[in-house]
Amino acid sequence: MKKILGAIFILILISCNSISKKEKELLEKENELLQRELELTKKEQNSKSKAIELTKPKEIEKKKETTKNEIIKEPVKKTTGYTFDNFHISENRVGIFSKGMTISDVYNSIPKEQIKKTVGYGEFADDTYDDYEIYDSNGKKILVLTPKQNGNTSSKINRISILDNRFKTTEKIGLSSTFGDLKKYYSTDKISPDMEHIVLDVSHINAWFSIKKSELKEDWWNGNGIDKSKIPDNAKFDGITIWWK
């Protein structure tokens, strides 16, 4: 009996070993299949990435070409009108306008769209003038030209009112300057009052420089005239006018 049981036990062990061997073989086969699948997926991913790398430069080149074409197709913006680049004030010239020019000469110098004729008024009701406003290419009013005679474009320029602080004398005196700047270079003995301003007559350049009375110190009028000591050095000019007789 013992021999029979021992034989059965041995048979069971042998069968278990054979089963475990089969399981191992199956597992090994499954592992091999998994490894093959992994290798295949890696190869597919590599091939896709290469394809993407190959197509990217072409797409970039296409984008570059389109942007270049778009840049070429964009219309070139052109500024219309006459562009002022001369802002010098002298005895006989203000920018491009010189002493002796007529209103007709002005119309021949710049486009008519940059000239606007208006009516100017003096201190009295009947005191009217033909004023010709001058505009730069950006539509900014920079000067007002007034001829000697009304209604006559052959009349010469008599007066130029400067409205833009880019206009300056050789000494860099302009609308942004002060009384202190002016008296360093020019005589300021001729000073007279008008309704709201005092006017400094600088005959050296045929110019009037006006300062608002509100800029002056108290008691600026001493009974005989304007006391220059009551004009602060930092008093700014409210206007500049060039006169050509």
Instruction: Report how many domains make up the chain.
Output: 2
122 lies in a domain? yes
Check whether 14 has a pLDDT greater than 50. Answer: no
User: What distance in Å separates the CA atoms of residue 89 and residue 188, rounded to the nearest whole number?
Assistant: 18
211 lies in a domain? yes
Q: Kindly state whether residues 184 and 244 are assigned to the same domain.
A: yes
- The residue among 204 and 134 whose pLDDT is bigger is 134
Last residue of a domain, one of 147, 167, 187: 167
Q: Kindly state whether residues 150 and 190 are assigned to the same domain.
A: no
Q: Kindly state whether residues 161 and 181 are assigned to the same domain.
A: no
β pairing state of 141-147 and 115-121: unpaired
163 lies in a domain? yes
User: What distance in Å separates the CA atoms of residue 33 and residue 28, rounded to the nearest whole number?
Assistant: 9
Amino acid at 118: T
What CA–CA distances, in Å, run from 139 to 81, 86, 103, 234?
10, 17, 20, 31
Banded pLDDT at 122 (limits 50, 70, 90)? confident
**Average pLDDT score over the chain:** 81
Check whether 222 has a pLDDT greater than 50. Answer: yes
Q: What is the pTM of this model?
A: 0.66
Q: Kindly state whether residues 132 and 161 are assigned to the same domain.
A: yes
27 lies in a domain? no
Q: Kindly state whether residues 81 and 161 are assigned to the same domain.
A: yes
Last residue of a domain, one of 115, 139, 167: 167
State pLDDT tens for residues 48-96.
555 545 444 455 445 555 444 444 444 434 457 899 999 999 999 999 9
Last residue of a domain, one of 114, 144, 167: 167
Average pLDDT over residues 159-187: 96
195 lies in a domain? yes
Check whether 176 has a pLDDT greater than 90. Answer: yes
Q: Kindly state whether residues 86 and 152 are assigned to the same domain.
A: yes
CB neighbour list of residue 244: distance below 8 Å, 6 or more residues apart: 92, 99, 100, 156, 157, 158, 159, 160, 206
Banded pLDDT at 40 (limits 50, 70, 90)? low
Q: Kindly state whether residues 129 and 149 are assigned to the same domain.
A: yes
Q: Kindly state whether residues 180 and 163 are assigned to the same domain.
A: no
**Beta partners for residue 48, in sequence order:** none
What CA–CA distances, in Å, run from 109 to 82, 133, 201, 212?
9, 14, 29, 34
Q: What is the DSSP letter of 89?
A: B
Check whether 117 has a pLDDT greater than 70. Answer: yes
Give the pLDDT confidence score for residue 188 in this predicted structure.
85
Give the pLDDT confidence score for residue 151 in this predicted structure.
94
Give the pLDDT confidence score for residue 73 in this predicted structure.
43
User: What distance in Å separates the CA atoms of residue 212 and residue 191, rounded to the nearest whole number?
Assistant: 13
Q: Which stretch of 8-22, 41-55, 84-98, 205-219 has the lowest confidence by average pLDDT?
A: 8-22
Q: Kindly state whether residues 181 and 161 are assigned to the same domain.
A: no
Q: Kindly state whether residues 184 and 146 are assigned to the same domain.
A: no
182 lies in a domain? yes
Q: What is the DSSP string of 138-154?
A: TS-EEEEEEESSTT-TT
Average pLDDT over residues 192-216: 94
Give the pLDDT confidence score for residue 2 in this predicted structure.
47
The domain of 160 spans 77-167
133 lies in a domain? yes
Q: Kindly state whether residues 147 and 216 are assigned to the same domain.
A: no
20 lies in a domain? no
